[in-house]
Amino acid sequence: MMEYNFARILALIKKEFITIWKDPKSRGIIVVLPLMQLFIFANAITMEVKNIDVAVLDRSGTYESRELLSRFENSPRFRNFYYVENEDKLKSVIDNQKVQMGLYINNDLSKNIKREKSADIFVILDGRQTNSASIASGYASQIINDYNNEISNVKPQLNPSVRNWYNPNLEYRWYFLTVIIATLSLVITLLLTALSIAREREMGTFDQLVVSPLNSFEILLGKIIPPLVIALGLTIIMTLIIALFFKVPFSGSIFLFFVSIFISLLSITGVGLFISSICKTQQQAVLGVITFQMPAILLSGFISPIEDMPKFLQYLTLLNPIRFFMLLVRGIYLKGMNFNDVFLNLVPLVLIAAFTLTMASKTFKKSLN
């Protein structure tokens, strides 16, 4: 029966921490880079549509039309308003992409409101920008419906009721920042584990590990623990920054949150060690990380819903730890996901972790031999 010397494992773990921290590049990667990316991504990257320029053709020119237009002008979603005199001018500014949206108000708006008849407000959108047009349409419809509900003597035939759970004001930053936790943790864990064995080979110290009293399991354990500790520490820091600095409310269980992160990072560690064990240089390891990282993020549901992907890709995402990692982080942080839901998403992560670590162990043993 194989016996493990924990003193030797602790010595290797200490050596890994010292090696990582003594390298200025490694310090920059594990401390400065993720925090810098967190602040940059939070403020610079968004899929929201803001600063929409609008052309207005107000044929009514009444109190009611001015009240409606004031709702648009006071909305943070819209920026510049161009009041035009006729349909040709309205068409021209949209054609030239000077504005993204046009509002056309008929001259019978006030009369129809007073008579409790339906009044049409035409919202014209630039269909060349499909995503922006769809989102801007939603903004305009919401403003018009809100104004309609404020007028007590109007009884609309259709009265849509919209409720947004878990993010009532549709703050895109809430969604994006919680996903960034998973993304940056993924990057750091992959890089540190992928570079660990490749760095030993490049520095010429890998042979010393081979002839040392440490067996393959002890070496593997010594390579796994430091990246996990560092990634967990950074995750705690990023979570505190998001909660305290960006004011994103934490709704779930802190215990379940960090258990989920630990198991997720464990599955990613196996991928990183597998990459590291088959690479001879750190440059090859970085390329291996990029090769895995981009498809994994694309197939996680972050950029586009998994339900919209082709069937074979939907099945492929079941093998992607990032899919479950992001789902758990977002679900626990914003929704307060309960234990049963967390458990159902942890099961595939545990299976993926067992598989990736087993593959990394077998590949590592071959490289030792």
d(CA 192, CA 243): 26
d(CA 259, CA 350): 11
pLDDT of residue 109: 79
Residue 217's alpha-carbon distances to 259, 267, 311, 358, in angstroms, are 24, 17, 39, 11
Comparing CA positions, the residue from 202, 196, 136 lying closest to residue 13 is: 196
Q: What is the DSSP string of 185-224?
A: HHHHHHHHHHHHHHHHHHHT-HHHHHHSS--HHHHHHHHH
Asked if 146 contacts 184 with a C-beta cutoff of 8 angstroms, the reply is no
Low-confidence stretches of the chain (pLDDT < 50) are 1-2, 44, 154, 156-164
d(CA 256, CA 313): 29
**Residue found by looking up tokens 């052309």 in the block:** 55
Residues near 150 by beta carbon (within 8 Å), at least 6 away in sequence = none
The SS3 of residue 101 is: strand
Question: Element (H or E) spanning 337, and its range?
Answer: none
pTM comes to 0.61
d(CA 315, CA 322): 14
Helix count (H) and strand count (E) of the chain? 15, 4
156: left (phi over 0), alpha (psi -120 to 50) or beta: beta
What is the identity of the amino acid at 16?
E
d(CA 30, CA 187): 9
Classify the C-alpha dihedral 221-225-226-231 as positive or negative. Answer: positive
pLDDT of residue 158: 29
The SS3 of residue 296 is: helix
Which two three-digit tokens encode residue 292? Answer: 């895995």
